[in-house]
Amino acid sequence: MLVETAIDDGAPVKAALGISLLSSLLVVSITLGSSHYTKAQLDALASRVGMVYWIASADSRTPIFLSAATKNAAWFHARDNESFEIIELTGQKDKDPYYRVRFDSGKEGYIRPEAFLDDFNLTILAADPLASEKKKATEAAEVERKRVEWIRSQPWTPAVKDAAIKRRPVAGHTPAEVKRILGNPVRVTKITGQSVAEERWQYPDGSALIFHNQLLIRMEIRARQVP
């Protein structure tokens, strides 16, 4: 399976010329009619077989696909954010080509090459539009996995481990342990001028942890406001 990448300013000129040539070939084909596709044009269209693309809604619209390789077939709209692979260019013998595609849901459909090109870079993209969010989610899941794994490896009682996994540190934890359980605080306030060294750690959700002599003594959770 191949994934076609979108062209940017640094992409090879050869690749850009290939896309331009394919566009020109399709424009000529639309003008002349499907029966006038040449072998070179069909070969150019077939070069997309094996490529993966993504659906992106534009103005609440997604591209239309057919249930069969015929203009009178039932049609359906692709789902937003779904990907599909072009698995075949049908109709080459009769010079009446359709792309046969398979969505990640397993559903198959057909689309005319002209229609595909019309929607390319509008509602059909060569790169996953959610790639950045998916990467962040994957990284966050890995961080959480390591956090839980570390907690389970500690010589704590089952109750303390369960509370830590649920992000509820208990009295007696050290600052280093709290960081492994909750992450870094957004603000640390050190209280001076008293017999016991005190630190107050503030977290984004409004909760505060109070340490005396480098040991957690209590956790204050901000009450949620009822709308």
User: How is 152-213 classified by DSSP, letter by letter?
Assistant: HTSS--HHHHHHHHTT---TT--HHHHHHHH---SEEEEE-SSSS-EEEEE-TTS-EEEEET
Question: Which 3 state secondary structure label does DSSP give 225?
Answer: coil
Q: Would you give per-residue pLDDT tens digits along the chain (227 residues)?
A: 444 444 444 444 344 444 444 454 444 444 444 457 899 999 999 999 999 999 999 999 999 999 999 989 999 999 999 999 999 999 999 899 999 999 999 999 999 999 999 999 999 999 998 889 999 999 999 999 999 999 999 999 999 999 999 999 999 999 999 999 999 999 999 988 788 899 999 999 999 999 999 999 999 987 655 55
How far does Cα 213 stand from its chain's mean position?
A: 45
What pLDDT, on a 0 to 100 scale, did the predictor assign at position 4?
47
What pLDDT, on a 0 to 100 scale, did the predictor assign at position 47?
96
Helix 13-32 vs helix 39-46: crossing angle, to nearest 10: 130
* Domains present along the chain, CATH in parentheses: 13-125 (no CATH), 132-220 (3.30.1450)
How far does Cα 61 stand from its chain's mean position?
A: 20
| Contact status, residue 75 vs residue 25, Cβ threshold 8 Å | no
Q: Return d(Cα 48, Cα 88) in angstroms, integer.
A: 9
Which residues make beta-bridge pairs with 99?
89, 111
Residue from 116, 93, 104, 94 nearest 45 by CA: 116
Q: Return d(Cα 159, Cα 139) in angstroms, integer.
A: 28
What pLDDT, on a 0 to 100 scale, did the predictor assign at position 145?
97
What pLDDT, on a 0 to 100 scale, did the predictor assign at position 29?
45
